[in-house]
Structures are given as C-alpha cells and as structure tokens.
Amino acid sequence: MVGDGYIVAAGHEDKSHNHSLRMLAFARAMLQAAVAVGARHGLEVQIAIGIHKGEVYGGVVGIRCPRYHFFGPTLSVSNAIERACKPGKILLSAPALAAIPTEKLEAAGLTFERNSDNPVVDCPGDTYVVCLTGQIHDVRAASGARGNDGGVMHVF
C-alpha cells in the first residue's frame, strides 16, 4: 500500500508530562516494527514520521458513521513535516524537540541534526532529523517539563 496515513495523538486526555518523549519512543518503535514486518514477508516497508507539538481540538463527528476526529493547525503542521520527511526517518518540529528535556535526550543517546535538505514551509521554526543511534528506555518514568506538551504524530 502506498499513501496510507495514520495520526497518533498524545497528551489529549492524559495528565502526564512527558508526551513528547513518549511520542518519540513510539515513533522509533514504529520504524522498527515496519522493518520487522517487511522482513518477515520479504518486503521493503518504510514509513516516514513527522512529529509536532501544539494544541488540537477533538470530538465525535458524524451521524451515520461517527468518528472521533482532531482539528487544528497542529495537524496541518505535522502533516507538512511528515511530507518533508524521508522514508525510514523521524522529523521533529522545534516545539516538539524543545518539549523533551535535554537530559532525557542525552541519557537515551539521541542526537538530532537540523533538517536542511527539505525545509518545511508551514512549520514554525526549524525541523530536526532524529539520528537513531540511542535507545529510549523507561518512558513512563521519564519526567518532562511541566505543562501540557501533547503532540501529534503523522505516520505515512
């Protein structure tokens, strides 16, 4: 399949304070799962992931086929970030990266490079490519910055 997309939202109803770190851990797991599924079936499966932090609004939409749906500019920005991302990579917006405490990134051995290959026009600030060299452990115990740092991740 080509062009199937999924949206993952964190922090919408959750009162924990490490949504951005949890989103990054989930993104890494998705990349690893895509490779594993592809290998199991003799296929090359690649996904691109765009992560952005910001407010969204959600609610049930529809009468015949009601669905829970998110709205807001954060979705448009995360979609633009995902479209600019290369397959097999994770691309974060500056607000998403800033929401993750530096000590958590260093402890996980994660590094980031400024995305200069394909600038995202609709994104506030720079975007950063995640260098997947470290591991993210014990995300539930991680303590991030206080406040709602919910985010939206587009996976395509």
Residues 124-140 have pLDDT tens digits of 667 777 765 444 443 33
**Hey, how many other C-beta atoms are within 10 angstroms of the C-beta on 83?**
15
Is residue 1 in a domain? no
Q: Please, are residues 129 and 48 in contact by the beta-carbon 8 Å criterion?
A: no
Is residue 88 in a domain? yes
| 91-124 CB burial, b ≥16 within 10 A, e <16 | bbbbbbbebbbeebbeebebebeebeeeebeebe
Q: Please, are residues 124 and 92 in contact by the beta-carbon 8 Å criterion?
A: no
How many structural domains is the chain composed of? 1
Residues 26-80 have pLDDT tens digits of 888 888 898 899 899 999 888 888 888 888 888 899 999 998 888 888 888 888 8
Is residue 68 in a domain? yes
| Both structure tokens of 131 | 């260098």
pLDDT(3) > 70: no
Q: Please, are residues 8 and 125 in contact by the beta-carbon 8 Å criterion?
A: no
The CATH number of residue 33's host domain is 3.30.70.1230
pLDDT of amino acid 102: 81
pTM for this predicted structure = 0.75
State which residues form the domain around 135: 6-142+149-155
